[in-house]
Amino acid sequence: MDGEPLVRWRWLGDHLGYLWNLLCDHAVLSLVPVLLGLLLALPLGLLCSRFRPLYQPLAAVFNLVYALPSLAVFILLIPYTGLGTQSLVMIPLTFYSLAVLLPTVVDGLGAVPEPVRQAATAMGYGPWRRLVAVELPSAVPYLVAGLRVATVSSISLASVGALVGRGGLGYLFIDGFQRTFPTPILAGIVLVALLALVTDAVLLLARRLLAPWAGQETAVSR
């Protein structure tokens, strides 16, 4: 619309509650799938690290899923989940997160030096105690690096869910576009970026607390 200001500050002030609700909805839609993806990636990654022939087929399947267009997947799931439900968005995002996290779990467990494993075994650590006390802590830098990638990706993709009735901050993009009103669009961009930055900062803090010896960022292998 001609003459429309880039930002209507009054509109923002009048819609703070609305924006907060959308932000909370977006956080749930995007971050819960990352957590679920991690819970699935840990046992699958452990299984693949113990039985290496399983890794390549599983990785190929999840990489194929990751390559599928998110909107197409949302549409295919509508008959099974219903339109506008959280599960419609969360299911694909969970598998997308799993595709990112599975290689980081396998690489993280594989990066533990064999002498460290042998030393733990010599000290009387059984397989499960060694996993919890030695292998997983050593893999923390890899896990956090993968979580950072999966989280940013999930926060971004969750916006697409607005096209099928559940997308958190994505509603602002649709609303602004349909009304030729840039203020909601800019507000959505800023809030998505802030959510990603805050979540990334929390993950970095968690890495420093859990793995203070990791001075440099571990590369994510995909």
Residue 218 lies in a domain: no
User: What pTM was estimated for this model as a whole?
Assistant: 0.84
Are residues 215 and 141 in contact, defined by beta-carbon separation less than 8 angstroms? no
Which tokens sit at 168? 């958190």
d(CA 204, CA 145): 9
Domain around 139: 9-210
Residue 221 lies in a domain: no
Residue 29 lies in a domain: yes
Residue 222 lies in a domain: no
Per residue of the chain (222 residues), what is the pLDDT tens digit?
455 677 888 888 999 999 999 999 999 999 999 999 999 999 998 888 888 888 889 888 888 888 888 878 888 888 888 776 788 889 889 999 999 999 999 888 887 777 777 777 778 777 777 777 777 888 888 899 999 999 999 999 998 888 887 778 999 999 898 888 899 999 999 999 999 999 999 999 988 888 776 654 444 444
Residue 3 lies in a domain: no
Which tokens sit at 33? 């799938």
Are residues 62 and 29 in contact, defined by beta-carbon separation less than 8 angstroms? no
Residue 79 lies in a domain: yes
Instruction: Tally the domains of the chain.
Output: 1
CATH number at residue 169: 1.10.3720.10
Query: What residue type is assigned to position 163 of the chain?
Result: L
Residue 128 lies in a domain: yes
Give the Å distances, CA to CA, from 143 to 25, 59, 65, 137, 207: 25, 16, 21, 10, 9
